[in-house]
A and B are shown apart, each in its own frame.
Chain A
Amino acid sequence: MTSRIDIATRRSFLTRGLGVVGIAAGARAVVPDFLVRTALAGDRSVSDQKILVVLQLSGGHDGLSAIVPYGDDAYAKNRQASRIPESDVLKIDDYSGLHPNLTAFKNLLDAGHFAAVQAVGYPTPNQSHFTSMDIWHLADNEARSNSTAKESRFGWIGRYCDLACKDAPNPPMAISLGTGQTPRALNGRLSPGISFSQPQSFRYLGDRGNKERAEAYGKMHETTPTGRSHALDFVTRTAIDANAASSAIRDLAGKYKTAVTYPNGSLAASLKTVAALVAGGLSTRVYYVFQGGYDTHFIQKSRHDALMAELGASVGAFQQDLASQGDAPRVLTMTFSEFGRRVTENGSQGTDHGIAGPMFLVGPGVKPGLHGEPPSLEPDRLVAGRDLQHKIDFRGVYAAVLEKWLGCPSEPVLGGTFEPVDCIA
C-alpha cells in the first residue's frame, strides 16, 4: 500500500507542476524535462509497485484450439478442419494440452509462471463483438443496449486508477500501446489514459524548434477555462497528460537496451516498449496491448496457428526480458478475448461466434496450472446445443487481479462482489 501513496504524492507534484504551479511560478510555462522525469520515473528504489499488463485478443479467440481437450472424443468429432492432432498437443494432463505453437507458455508453466482460467464468460452472453467487448471493458453486463452504453461510462481499469490515486488528478496510471486509440477499459474520471502507437512519434512538433513559440504553446496549455463542455474537458485532460508524458516516454523507450531478441510484429514491439517503460521505473500501473485477427470465420487453422506462434513467442520474449532486467516478479500479464467460438465448425472451415473461453495469466506471481473445470463438450451441456457454457465469471478473475495483485478492493471497481478466482500466488 505504501507504493500507492508514493504514486499519489508524485503525481500531485506533477500535476501542480503542469497546471496550477505553472501560473504561480510564472516564468516557466513548459514543464522542464527533469520535473517530468522525477514525477513519472522515480528512482528504482521506490518503483517497486506491482504492474499489470492486459493483453487483448481481439475478434473472439477459439479457446478449444489453445487449450486443446484432446482427451475428449467430442473434440475430434466437432472439429475436422481445425483439429490439432493429439501427437502435436503440448500435454498438460491426460485431457488438456497447449497448442503446439505455445512452447513458450509450456516452458513458463513448467517454471511455475503460467496459469489458465478455463471456461470464463458472463451471464446472458452477447455474441456481438462490440457489445461483448464493451462488457469486458466496462466489467458491466448492462453495457449492451444503445441507450445505456454511454461513451462517458468508465472502464474497469479507469475506475481502478480513480480509486488508487484519488488525491491526484491526471495520473498516467494506465498506458495503452500499439494503437493510437485508447481502449474504453482505461477511461476513468480522473484520466482518459495515455495511448500511443510508437513512442518516437509521441510529441508536439508545431513549435519547429522555435523557443518563443514553444513558450507560447506552453502558456496556452496551462489554463483550465471554466464553463466548458464535457467533450472539451475530456480533450483538455488528455492534452495535459500527453504534454506531461511525451518526453519521459520517448526518453525511456529511446535509451532502452536489452539483450533479448523479440520476434517481429506489433505485439512484440508493444511488449518491448512496455519492458522499457517498466525498466525505466515509470509509475504506470497498467499497460494495455493488443493482438488482433482472432475472428476466424473462414479457414481457421492456418491463421490461428500463426496467431498462436506470435502470441507464444512475443510473451515468451517479454518474460525473458523482464526477468533479465529483474522486473519479472512485479509484472503480471493477463489475456482475454470478447468471447470464444462455436464448438462445431461452420461450412467455411472456420468457426462462428461462441461464448466461453480461457484467460491466460503469465508471470512469477501466478498460481500455476489450469484453474476451473474445462468446458464441457457434451451436447446437452452446451448453450442452445451449440456453445460452451461459462463456469467462471470474468469479473472473478478481475477481482483476483485487483485484490491479490494490485492490492485494491475490487467491489468499488467492479460495482459488485465477485469471488476472486484463486489464480494469484
Chain B
Amino acid sequence: MKRRVSMWLGIAGAVALWAVGGLRADEPTPLQTAEEAAKKAVASEEVMQNEWNSREMARSATREIARVERSRSESAVADYRRAIEGVTAAEAAAKAARAAADGEPDAAKKTPLVETANQADAAVAAAKANLEQRLAAMHAALDRLIEDSVAGERAANELLVSENGLRDKMAESRAVELKVLEMKAASADAASVDAAKRAIFEMQAVQLWERQLWAGVQQGTLGQIIEMTDHAGRIAADAATIEPDAARKKTLEEFAQRETKGKTDAEKTNGECAAIVAKAISEIYPLRAAAMGGLTPLAPEKWDLAKARHLLVRAGFGGTPQEVKNLHAMGLYAAVDHLVDFHRQAPAPASLDVIPVPLPDPLEGKLRNAFVRGQAAGARNSIDGGQFGALRQWWIKRMVASPRPLQEKLTLFWHGHFATQQSVVQNTYILYHQNQLFREHAAGNFGGLLYGIVHDPVMIRYLDNNLNVVGHPNENLAREIMELFAMGVDQGYTEHDIREAARALTGYTYDNATGQFRYVLKSHDPGDKTIFGKTGPWTGDDLVNLLLEQPSTARFISFKLYEYFVKKDPAPEVVDKMATVLRTNQYELNPMLKNLFLSEEFYSDAAMGTQIKSPVQLVVGMLRDLGAKEATNFGQIDGMIQEMGQQLFEPPDVKGWRYGRSWISSNRVFSRYNAAATLANSVPLASGASGVDLVGLLATEECKTAEDVIQCLAKVCLAKPLNDEQRAKLVAYLGQLPPQAEWAGQKDAINAKLRNVLVLLLCTPEYQVT
C-alpha cells in the first residue's frame, strides 16, 4: 500500500500549480473539491484497513482453534472405532473360551477353562464400558467440532465480506483519484499533457494491481475455508458411519453435507479470483508500458514458438528446440522477466572467471629500465599480450555457456558502444576490468556506465585523456563522449561545448603501474566552463550529469539499443517512446529493455528474421542452437570470428562495429560459410565427441520422414521456414533414413548423414539472418 501513498504525495505536490481562474478565491475549484474527496477516501481506506487487520487476526485465532478441534475429533473418532473393534474381539474371544469350556468332558481339565471363559466375559464387560466412554468422548469432540467449525467458517466468511468491502472501498478511492488526474490531464498545457496521461495509466495500473492483490488475498482466505470444510466434512462423514444414535447420525450427515457445500462454494469463488489475477496481470503490463510512455506490448495470445525463438536469439544468442519450448511455456511476460532479470539466474560458472594477471611490478620495470632501456617495457608487453587471446576466449566461452545470455549480449553491446582497441591500449589487464564494468552494469543504469567510462583507464588511454591537462587540452574524449557515447553526432552540442568539456575532463588520468584511475588535481583546469549553456567549475563527473540532462542522450541510447536488438532505422516516434521510458526511470535500463522485448514492435514482421548476424552471433548462436555449449576449441572459434571481421576488444575504431550490412562482403560470405561447415562437422566437445550431435538434438522432436528431418533442422537453424523448392532439394539430398527409433544404435553414421545436410542449411544466405 506504501507505493500508492507515496504516489499520492507526488500528485499532491503537483496540485499547487492548479489555476483558479474564474472562481472566487474562497470557493473551492472543482479540482480542489475532487482532491478533497480523494484525500478523504484515502483516509477512510486506512480506517477500513485497520478493521480488516483486526478481523484478520481474529480469524487466525479461530482458525487455530478449529484446527485443534479437528485433530481432537479425528482422534476421538479413531478411538471410538478402536473401542468397537475391542468389543468385537473380546466377544469373539469370550465366545470361543466359553465353547471350549462347555465342550470339555474331563472335569479336571474343565475347571481352568471355565475360569478362562469367565475372565473373557469380564474383559467383554470392560471393553463395553470403554466403548461407552469413547462414545461419550467422541460425542463431546464432535459437538465442539461442529460448533467451532461453524464459528471458524463464519469468521472466515465475515473476513471475506470485509475484504470485499475494503476492495470496493479502495477501488472507489482509485476512481476518485483517477477523476483528479483526468481533470488535470484535461487542463494540462501541451508540455505536461503526456506526463498527465501517463499518470492516468499509472493509476489504472494501480487499480488493476489492487484488484488482483485483493483477489490474491481472498484466495488465501478461501484456501483456508476449503481446507477447513474439507477436513471437518470428512471427519463428520466418517463419524456418521459408526454413530449408533440415529439422531446424532443425522446431525453428522447434515453437517458433512453443509461442509461439502461450503467447500464447493469456496472453490468456485477461488477459481473466480484466480481468473481475476490472471486477467489483471495481462492488462497491467500494457498499462504499465503506457504509464512509462513506452511501446505497446504484444497481446499474450500472440505469443508462439517462433516468437519465443526470436526472443531467445535476440535477447540472448539462441537455444535448442527444448530450450525454446521451455521459454514458450513460461508465457510472454514471464519469459521476458526470465531473460531480463538475469540476476535471478546463477552466474556463469566460477571456472570461467579467470582473471588476467596484473602487469609486472612497476619497481622491477623501473630498475630494469635503468639498465636496459626498453627491455622492461617489452617484457611487460609480452606478458600482457600473452593473456590477450585467453581473454577473448574466456569471453566467447561465457557467451556460449552463461546461464545469463542477455548479460553477455549487453556486455558485447556496451563494448561496441564504448569502443576501445587492444592494439592501441596494449593492456589486457585493464581491458578485463573494463569488460567486467560493462557486465556489472549491463542492464543497470546508463548513468553508472557513463560515469564508469570517464573513470575507465582503458578509455582514458584510448582517447588520450591522459594527455588532456590544464593549458594543453586534448579534445579527443570530450568529442567522442558527445558524438558517440551519449548524445549522437550533431545532436545538440557545439564545437564550443566540446572544447569546454575537454577542459572539464583535464586531470582525469590513470596510473600505468596499477591500472587504476587517478584524478590529478594539478592537471585539472579549475576555471569556469560553459557546457550546454550552463556555467560552473565543471569536472568530468559534472559532465556526466550535464550529459544525462540532455534529451538527446536518452534518445541516442534508445536508438542504438533498438538497432542492436530489433532492426536498423527505427521510426523516430518509437525511439521517443523508449527514451521516455528511460528518462521516467532515471536511466535504469531494465524497465526499458523489458518494455522493448514485450513490444509488438519487437515481434513485428519487419523485425523477425531480418537482422544480419554478427560473427559472434553466428558462431555463439550456432553452438547454442545446436546444443554444442560444451565446445572445447575456443582458440579456433576466436580465430573464425576474427576471420569474419569481428575481433573482440578490437573494434574497427572508436565508433565500434557498424553491424547490419557491414558484416557482409563477398569475402566474408565465404568466411562465414567455411566456419559454419567446419564447426558443424568437427567441433570438439567436452564429452570427447566431435561434431554436433544431431541425433541427440532431434530426440525431442518427431522425425518420421526425411521431410520431417529437414523441417526440424530448418526450424532449429532458421528464423523463417524454408521455401518449398529449397526444402525439396535438401530432402532429395538427404535421401532415405532408418526409423528414428534406430538412430541411437547407429549414431555416428546417422550424425554424419545429418551433418551433410545441416552444412548445406548453414551455408546459405538464409542462415546469415535471424
A-side residues, CB < 8 A to B, are 126-131, 144-147, 150-152, 172, 176, 180-182, 187, 192-197, 201-206, 208, 212-213, 216-217, 219-221, 223, 225-226, 229-232, 234-236, 238-239, 241-242, 245-246, 297-298, 346-348, 352, 384
Within 8 A of A (CB), among B669-710: 669-671, 673-674, 676-678, 681
A225 touches B723 (CB 8 A): yes
Given contacts A206-B678, A220-B760, A229-B769, 13 further A-B contacts (CB under 8 A): A144-B489, A147-B572, A150-B569, A182-B665, A192-B665, A194-B667, A208-B677, A219-B729, A225-B726, A230-B610, A235-B769, A238-B669, A348-B467
A235 touches B664 (CB 8 A): yes
B610 touches A347 (CB 8 A): no
| Residue among A126, A182, A216, A220 having the largest count of chain B Cβ atoms under 10 Å | A220
Our pick among A129, A130, A217, A297 for the contact of B464 (Cβ within 8 Å) is A297
Our pick among B475, B489, B611 for the contact of A131 (Cβ within 8 Å) is B489
For residue B475, which residue of chain A has the nearest CB? A352
Distance between Cα atoms of A94 and B464 in the complex (Å) = 38
* The 9 A-B residue pairs with the shortest CB-CB distance in the complex, in nearest-first order: A347-B472, A206-B677, A242-B666, A196-B667, A229-B610, A235-B765, A195-B665, A236-B765, A182-B665
For residue B608, which residue of chain A has the nearest CB? A229
* B534 nearest CB across to chain A (Å): 23
Q: B559 at interface (Cβ–Cβ under 8 A)?
A: yes
* B139 nearest CB across to chain A (Å): 81
Known A144-B490, A146-B491, A297-B464: A217·B661 in contact at CB below 8 Å: no
B665 touches A220 (CB 8 A): no
For residue B724, which residue of chain A has the nearest CB? A225
Residues of A within 8 A of B765 (CB): 232, 235-236, 238-239
Residues of B within 8 A of A129 (CB): 653, 655
B-side residues, CB < 8 A to A, are 464, 467, 469, 471-476, 479, 483, 488-491, 495, 556, 559, 568-569, 572, 609-612, 643-645, 652-653, 655, 658, 660-662, 664-671, 673-674, 676-678, 681, 723, 725-726, 729-730, 733, 756, 759-760, 763-766, 768-769
Residues of A within 8 A of B467 (CB): 298, 347-348
A238 touches B664 (CB 8 A): yes
A231 touches B611 (CB 8 A): yes
A238 touches B666 (CB 8 A): yes
Distance between Cα atoms of A15 and B284 in the complex (Å) = 55
Our pick among A208, A212, A246, A347 for the contact of B670 (Cβ within 8 Å) is A246
Distance between Cα atoms of A128 and B498 in the complex (Å) = 12
Residues of B within 8 A of A146 (CB): 488-489, 491, 556, 559
A347 touches B474 (CB 8 A): yes
Distance between Cα atoms of A145 and B556 in the complex (Å) = 12
Our pick among B469, B473, B652, B661 for the contact of A231 (Cβ within 8 Å) is B661
Residues of B within 8 A of A347 (CB): 467, 469, 471-474
Distance between Cα atoms of A297 and B726 in the complex (Å) = 54
A202 touches B670 (CB 8 A): yes
A195 touches B667 (CB 8 A): yes
Distance between Cα atoms of A126 and B569 in the complex (Å) = 22
A206 touches B729 (CB 8 A): no
Residues of B within 8 A of A202 (CB): 666-667, 670
11 contacts between A and B (CB under 8 A): A152-B661, A172-B666, A176-B665, A181-B645, A194-B666, A220-B760, A236-B765, A242-B667, A347-B473, A347-B474, A352-B475
Known A128-B483, A195-B667: A223·B725 in contact at CB below 8 Å: yes
A216 touches B475 (CB 8 A): no
| Residue among B473, B489, B559, B643 having the largest count of chain A Cβ atoms under 10 Å | B489
Residues of A within 8 A of B483 (CB): 128
* B520 nearest CB across to chain A (Å): 15
Our pick among B475, B609, B655, B664 for the contact of A192 (Cβ within 8 Å) is B664
* B424 nearest CB across to chain A (Å): 10
| Residue among A195, A219, A232 having the largest count of chain B Cβ atoms under 10 Å | A232
Residues of B within 8 A of A219 (CB): 729
B763 touches A204 (CB 8 A): yes
Residues of B within 8 A of A242 (CB): 666-667, 669-670
Distance between Cα atoms of A222 and B423 in the complex (Å) = 42
For residue A235, which residue of chain B has the nearest CB? B765
Known A192-B661, A219-B729: A239·B669 in contact at CB below 8 Å: yes
Residues of B within 8 A of A217 (CB): 760, 763
B665 touches A231 (CB 8 A): no
Distance between Cα atoms of A220 and B762 in the complex (Å) = 11
Residues of A within 8 A of B643 (CB): 180
For residue A144, which residue of chain B has the nearest CB? B490
Our pick among B473, B661, B674, B729 for the contact of A234 (Cβ within 8 Å) is B661
A346 touches B474 (CB 8 A): yes
Residues of A within 8 A of B612 (CB): 231, 234-235
For residue B666, which residue of chain A has the nearest CB? A242
Residues of B within 8 A of A194 (CB): 665-667
A151 touches B464 (CB 8 A): no
